[in-house]
Amino acid sequence: MSWYLTDVARFRAERQGIEILAQEVDWFAVTAWRLDARLRLVLDAEIGAGGRVYPIYLQYPDMFPHTPPSVFPRGDTARWSEHQFGAGGELCLEYGPDTWTANNTGRDLIESCHKLLVTENPGGDELGDAPSRHVVSLGQGLRIRYSRYLLTRTFRALLSELPLRASLEANLVSLYHKESVVHVVDKVTLADGTQWTDPTVPSQLGPEYTERRVPICRWDETDTPPTTESLDEFDSGFAAVGNTLEARYGFIVHGSELSVFFLDRKKRSVVDVAVISPPPEATRLDAAHSVLAAKKVAIIGCGSLGSKAATMLARSGVGGFVLVDDDILLPDNLVRNDLDWRDAGVHKVPALARRLQFVNPSIDVLQWRVPLGGQEANESADAMLKRISECDLMLDGTADPNVLNLLSAVAASAKKPVIWAEVFGGGFGGLIARYRPGIEPPPSFMRRAIENWFGERGSLPRRSHRPYEAIGTGIDVPMTADDADVSVIAAHAARFAIDLLVDRGPSLFPNSVYAIGLGADSVFSQPFDTYPIDVGPPPPEPEVVELSDQEKVTEIATLLELLKDKIGGTDPTAQDN
């Protein structure tokens, strides 16, 4: 129901306040009150300013008095003010959604409108300048600009190094969206024939979107920029400095400023493309995160949890990944996976690699489209495990005990940490766990301690892992965890990982395992119940077998015989190596 029916007293106060204003001043006159087609209350009136009469209408919104009325020109499509949303559009006054309170009235809007018009049109030939109550945001300024160019910091740094009046060639990548097209340059062929590549633009952007070669030239600040009034005049201005332009897009660097133009040769017109300049550079991560660029993480399992944790680590600055998974992304996976329809039908590993490099173009990704511990060639499996062992951290997102056992053996041998995480079936909670060789017990011991901890409380968690052999057999495994459930556990796992990789000293996490509640079920009484689980110290190291000197001589002689056979029967002791 309209506000003027539910608050008749406010309706009377609004009407009386405006009609009293018309009696008090000579610059304002009420024409009529009316209801528009949407039954909104509207006042038609006239305001005098600078020797001119401005017909206006004041339109009350449905949510008045919680949102302010609007003032529009009435029957006039000309632009009245610099503080106006386009010709014939709403006037931008002192009172807007950011400054309005319910104590303000329509009369305040009328007085503000008069102040604006008098300030900007005081009479005579001179025009005034009314101060703005706000700064138009980047988003507001680009709402009506379909064609946009994204200027990166690295490309902006290159512009001042380009030779004057030399026509070079740039590779323009265009990303078409429903509401806009965004362009970016990823490569420039320099005057000496070498190619400059922007390291901050993903390398796969060009091949996946639209690429075209466009001319770019740098003019001196004293050169007159070409007019965009017509295509012929633009071409003439371009040719005035010895350049010709036949492409659909042209780049001009005028002094230190970049201008981008779209040339519609069919309509014989020139469109000035909006250039989005980079904001001042600001540090968005603390200094401790800088070490992550040199770190490499193995992600075992690129499903819902693994894909989310990997993306979070990439955003945090991790510079290298080894991705291991043999699965295909299907549309049914999209309820939880960090990927989307653009990668449906693709192996999860290359799809996630693409995702990570779109997040951080400088990331190095090694891809293995195989299952860890699956039926693969021994040599291939060995090579994969070697690459995993070279990582600074291994993250298991498979929730498969067999995978974790193999991974923990690799970790123990390489003295590298492992993090694993699970989301319990039903989405009521999950757990995160950390294994540091020599500090925590191996995962097989830890899993036993975890099961005992839940068992002592009379509630073992339901596992959401569905083994391959269960598919199609009718075995029902709860899989109702939603994206938010998985994201919470993945975020905790990523935080665990960052703590290990940054290595500020003592860990922020005094315990190695945490059970995290997302609902009232199992051991959890409510969402966000968190329980640290004590898994005990690592078992004692196995006794080291020491050989006698004679036993060592015997074993070394055996190795030398093997080396002798390897190098063609020569005596290996005679070789420098």
Mean pLDDT of 435-464: 86
**pLDDT higher than 80, residue 463:** no
Least confident stretch, 94-108, 393-407, 546-560 = 546-560
At 530-542, the pLDDT tens digits run: 999 999 888 887 7
Band the pLDDT of 477: cuts 50, 70, 90.
Answer: very low
**pLDDT higher than 50, residue 5:** yes
Query: How far apart, in Å, do the first and last CA atoms of the chain sit?
Result: 93
Least confident stretch, 9-23, 340-354, 472-486 = 472-486
**pLDDT higher than 60, residue 220:** yes
SS3 (DSSP) at 164 = strand
Are the CB atoms for 494 and 313 separated by under 8 Å?
Answer: yes
**pLDDT higher than 60, residue 575:** no
Least confident stretch, 17-21, 71-75, 165-169, 478-482 = 478-482
- Range 288-533 classified under CATH 3.40.50.150: no
What are the start-end ranges of the E strands in 255-304? 257-264, 269-276, 296-300
Q: What's the confidence (pLDDT) of residue 241? A: 61
Structure tokens at 297: 């993480």
In what side-by-side order are the strands of the sheet with 41-49? 28-35, 41-49, 52-59, 70-73
Least confident stretch, 136-150, 331-345, 400-414 = 136-150
Q: What's the confidence (pLDDT) of residue 260? A: 86
At 253-267, the pLDDT tens digits run: 887 788 888 888 788
**pLDDT higher than 80, residue 248:** no
Q: Could you state, in order of their start, the residue ranges of all structural domains in the chain?
A: 3-134, 140-276, 288-533, 546-577
Over the range 153-182, which residues count as b (16 or more CB within 10 Å of their CB) and which as e?
A: eebeebbeebeeeebbebbbbbeeeeeeeb
SS3 (DSSP) at 484 = helix
**pLDDT higher than 90, residue 127:** no
**pLDDT higher than 80, residue 401:** yes
Distance CA 79, CA 72 (A): 11
Q: What is the DSSP string of 364-387?
A: EEEEE-S-TTSS--HHHHHHHHHH
Q: What's the confidence (pLDDT) of residue 47? A: 96
Are the CB atoms for 182 and 174 separated by under 8 Å?
Answer: yes
Q: Which amino acid, one-letter code, is at 101?
A: T
Q: What's the confidence (pLDDT) of residue 135? A: 66
At 130-166, the pLDDT tens digits run: 676 656 778 878 888 899 999 999 999 999 888 888 8
Mean pLDDT of 447-454: 92
Distance of CA 337 to the CA centre of its chain: 16
Q: What is the DSSP string of 540-555?
A: PPPPPPPPPHHHHHHH
Q: What's the confidence (pLDDT) of residue 173? A: 95
Residues 6 or more apart in contact with residue 410 via CB below 8 angstroms: 385, 388, 389, 394, 416
Positive or negative: CA dihedral 135, 140, 145, 147: positive
Mean pLDDT of 58-83: 93
* pLDDT, greater one: 527 or 504: 527
Distance CA 179, CA 321 (A): 35
User: Domain 3-134 falls in which CATH fold?
Assistant: Ubiquitin Conjugating Enzyme (3.10.110)
Q: Which amino acid, one-letter code, is at 73?
A: P
Band the pLDDT of 376: cuts 50, 70, 90.
Answer: low
Band the pLDDT of 574: cuts 50, 70, 90.
Answer: low
Mean pLDDT computed over every residue of the chain: 87
**pLDDT higher than 90, residue 380:** no
At 347-364, the pLDDT tens digits run: 999 999 999 999 999 999
CATH architecture of the domain 140-276 equals 3-Layer(aba) Sandwich (3.40)
* pLDDT, greater one: 477 or 314: 314
320-324 and 418-423 beta bridge pairing: unpaired
Distance CA 532, CA 534 (A): 7
* pLDDT, greater one: 80 or 573: 80
The closest of 383, 292, 378, 366 to 325, measured between CA atoms, is: 366
Query: In the chain, what percentage of residues exceed pLDDT 70?
Result: 90
Residue 37 DSSP code: T
Q: What's the confidence (pLDDT) of residue 436? A: 93
At 266-309, the pLDDT tens digits run: 888 888 889 999 988 877 788 888 999 999 999 999 999 999 99
Backbone torsion region of residue 415, taken as left when φ is above 0, otherwise alpha when ψ lies between -120 and 50, otherwise beta: left
Mean pLDDT of 495-516: 92
Q: How many CB atoms lie within 10 A of CB 22?
A: 16
Structure tokens at 46: 């006239």
Residues 6 or more apart in contact with residue 428 via CB below 8 angstroms: 517, 518, 519, 520, 521, 522, 524
**pLDDT higher than 80, residue 1:** no
Mean pLDDT of 377-403: 86
Residue 562 DSSP code: H
Least confident stretch, 89-98, 254-263, 334-343, 397-406 = 254-263
Beta bridge partners of 215: 169
At 115-124, the pLDDT tens digits run: 999 998 776 5
Q: What's the confidence (pLDDT) of residue 130? A: 66
* pLDDT, greater one: 564 or 119: 119
Band the pLDDT of 470: cuts 50, 70, 90.
Answer: very low
Q: What's the confidence (pLDDT) of residue 474? A: 45
In what side-by-side order are the strands of the sheet with 296-300? 364-368, 320-324, 296-300, 393-396, 418-423, 429-435, 513-517, 530-533
In degrees and rounded to multiples of 5, residue 438 shows phi and psi of 85, -15
Beta bridge partners of 53: 48
Note the pTM of the prediction, 2 decimals: 0.77
**pLDDT higher than 60, residue 465:** no
The closest of 520, 509, 338 to 429, measured between CA atoms, is: 520
